[in-house]
Amino acid sequence: MQGTFSIVGLVILALVISIPCGYIRQNFPKYSFAWFFLIHLPIPFIVLLRIKAGLSWHFIPLTLGGSVAGQIIGGAVSRRRKQNDKTP
């Protein structure tokens, strides 16, 4: 059962780590260096956490999914905040 908790925790942590990067990424032009950098910035941390948790490479798709979800959530929050700032 502990393995299940570490997997779920790692996926949630990947999501949480990626939200700020997705938020900041919205301020840069698409496909610019900074845009790519912010997409890939959380990956080394997530890989390190996966290795420290003792999980094999088979769990990479789950952590990648959490990271992508975090990027999407962070970008959506940034866009919504910019939209709300424009309305009087």
pLDDT digit string, tens, across residues 6-20: 899 999 999 999 999
Q: CA–CA separation, 75 vs 45, rounded Å?
A: 20
For residue 3, pLDDT beyond 90: no
Question: Which amino acid is residue 23, in one-letter code?
Answer: Y
Confidence class of residue 86 from pLDDT cuts 50, 70 and 90? Answer: confident
Do residues 86 and 35 touch, judged by C-beta distance below 8 A?
no
Q: What is the mean pLDDT of the chain?
A: 92
pLDDT reported for residue 45: 95
Are 25 and 75 spatial neighbours (Cβ–Cβ below 8 Å)? Answer: yes
Q: What is the mean pLDDT of residues 36-64?
A: 93
Q: Are 38 and 21 in contact, with CB atoms under 8 Å apart? A: yes
Length of the chain counted residue by residue: 88
